[in-house]
Amino acid sequence: MKFNLKLILLIVILILVVSSIYIIFFTKSKSIDNIPPEIITVTENISAKIGDTIYIYITYSDNIEVTDVKLFYKTEIESEWNSKPFINGSAELKLNSLKNLNYFVTIDDKAGNGPIGKPSIDGSKYYTITVNEDDNNGNEYVRNVFVEEGALNSCKFCPIISEWLYELYNSGDYNFYFVTLVGLDDNAADRLNNEYKLLGFPTVFIDGGYKVLFGGGHEKSEYAQAIRDAEYRSVPNIQLRVEAEYNNNTNILVCNALLKNLESDSYNGRIRIYLTEKISKWSGPEGDPYHFGFLEYLIDKEISIKSNGNITLQETKDISELDPENLMVIGVVFNSEKNQGYSDPPNNRFPFDAYYADAADGSEVLTGGNLPPSVGFSTPKIGYLHFMGIPIWDYIIRKPTVLIGKTKIVAEAYDEDSEIEKVQFYIDDELVIEDTEPPYEYSFRKVKLFKRVLRNHTISVIAYDDEGKTGTNSIEVRCYFL
């Protein structure tokens, strides 16, 4: 009897293939996970005092593995939920305001059988964290976040971000103070370049580098979220009170700072008192005002406070050259512990030593009063090449402002609490026109100041409000007249 070896071999191979397919299918069907995870326990409604750090605990189970555990939380007046992961079954929240918090939790497994939530998966139901006032001699203390924006007068996105921060600040939904560091100012430039290793403008540093947002590609909500994250981070229990007193007869500003260490260990750090202008002398390219523009440090010194101890600092300054109604002092306590920060955080470039801010407080020199106007140029545009008054080219690397042919200078003036009375135009410190009605403008053809084919000039504008306060802006231009 003859055997067909080829046929036998084919049958053996077929049996092996079918067996393999069966084994693979059977194994996979057995390993398919379609059982959702389960939340066993979770901290539910709780109460705590302002300033406390609370912990939300969760336990759960799954037939294989839970891979995603999140806490969603917000204050009662917020519309959007914040989120953070649970670490080893707990999530930490710092209660920095008297606003109650709502929260819910979700879990999911590797197979995606969730999310499973308690008391809901979408916030339609939630638990409540009731925040009570700490009866500490009737004084309520709120931990404030500290924000610094690096800006420039020729920066396109800087005024937009400054306005977003100002809106968040005035909303009352976030506990923070902020300062604008304009790179043209020597004190601000030192902070940005030597301490933060600045990459470019705009850059926002939150709590001394705890969060950094570089560039103009971020949304307002991202700044709000970064401030909120810093607000809820765990910090030492250091309290700071700042007070400003002004003597109208002597033009002397007295600044007092009281610090308390409520920790069980000594605290080491640095206190800085920023003197700022509510409406900065610096503005954006088109006159959009920068807020809380940094002028100088009133106090800048290292501190060491023993456990349950306190210190008081005082500094005086003659502010006869400044407008007291436009001044605010902002105090910040930075921890001495060094952290790794980056001015380009997504790419971990431009490293700097970050000393996180643990406390901040502010005080207006005079409340109310009249703020000065701000003014800028809508034409010409800083850093552009213009032909007959029309911007036609934006320089990428070097940014001279070039004018070819006759050009109309157009100024934009703003005032938050008064009316603009007039705007004056100067060419190389010589008054050429005074305009009392918008649009505020001046054309080169009105006077014959330019006698050279090629020359550099300084164009300046001064805006006056109806109470006599002023705002100024200048631009350097290179002129080619046809």
pLDDT in tens, 267-276: 999 999 999 9
CB atoms within 10 A of CB 99: 17
Say whether pLDDT at 482 is over 50: no
Question: Are 305 and 261 found together in one domain?
Answer: yes
Handedness of CA 178, 182, 185, 190 (dihedral sign): positive
The pLDDT confidence band at residue 446, using thresholds 50, 70 and 90, is very low
pLDDT confidence band for 20 (50 / 70 / 90)? low
- Residue 306 falls inside a structural domain: yes
Per the CB < 8 A criterion, the answer to whether 202 and 158 are in contact is yes
My answer on whether 168 and 286 are in the same domain is: yes
Domain limit, last residue, from 302, 332, 364: 364
Q: Are residues 113 and 78 in the same domain?
A: yes
Mean pLDDT on 402-419:
87
- Are 356 and 218 within one domain? yes
CB-CB contact of 204 with 147 (8 Å): yes
**Residue where a domain terminates, one of 132, 167, 193:** 132
- Note whether 257 and 329 are same-domain residues: yes
What is the mean predicted confidence (pLDDT) over 112-134?
Answer: 90
Q: Which residue has the higher pLDDT, 252 or 374?
A: 252
The answer, yes or no, to whether residue 322 has pLDDT greater than 80, is yes
pLDDT-derived band of residue 13, with 50, 70 and 90 as boundaries?
A: confident
**DSSP, res 395:** -
For residues 197 and 268, state if they share a domain.
yes
Cis peptide before 439 (omega within 30 of 0): yes
369 within domain boundaries: no
Burial of 267 from C-beta contacts in 10 A (0-12 / 13-18 / 19+): buried
Q: Are residues 128 and 158 in the same domain?
A: no
Are 245 and 392 found together in one domain?
Answer: no
Is the same domain home to 304 and 169? yes
Burial of 151 from C-beta contacts in 10 A (0-12 / 13-18 / 19+) = buried
Is residue 430 a part of any domain in this protein? yes
With respect to residue 112, please indicate whether it lies within any of the assigned structural domains. Answer: yes
Number of structural domains in the chain: 4
pLDDT of 181 reads 98
DSSP string, 240-254: EEEEEEEETTTTEEE
CATH code: domain of residue 451: 2.60.40.10
Share of the chain above pLDDT 70, in %: 89
Decide if 326 is inside a domain: yes
Q: Are residues 257 and 292 in the same domain?
A: yes
User: Residue 137 domain-assigned?
Assistant: no
The answer as to whether 140 is a domain residue is: no
Q: Is the pLDDT of residue 449 over 90?
A: no
pLDDT classification of 371: cutoffs 50, 70, 90: confident
Q: Which range, of 232-236, 312-316, 452-456, averages the lowest pLDDT?
A: 452-456
346: β partners: none
- 232: amino acid identity, one letter: Y
Q: Can you tell me the distance from the alpha carbon of 217 to that of 385, in angstroms, rounded to the nearest whole number?
A: 25
224 vs 215: CA distance, rounded Å:
16
280 in a domain, yes or no? yes
The two beta strands, 401-404 and 357-364, are unpaired
Do 287 and 395 have their domain in common? no
Tens of pLDDT, residues 37-92: 999 889 888 888 887 788 898 989 988 889 999 999 998 888 889 999 998 888 88
Which of 136-150, 221-235, 310-324, 443-457 holds the top average pLDDT? 310-324
Q: Which residue type, as a one-letter code, is found at position 164?
A: W
Question: Do 437 and 459 lie in a common domain?
Answer: yes
Which structural domain range is residue 19 located in? 1-32
pLDDT band at 253 (very low <50, low <70, confident <90, very high): very high
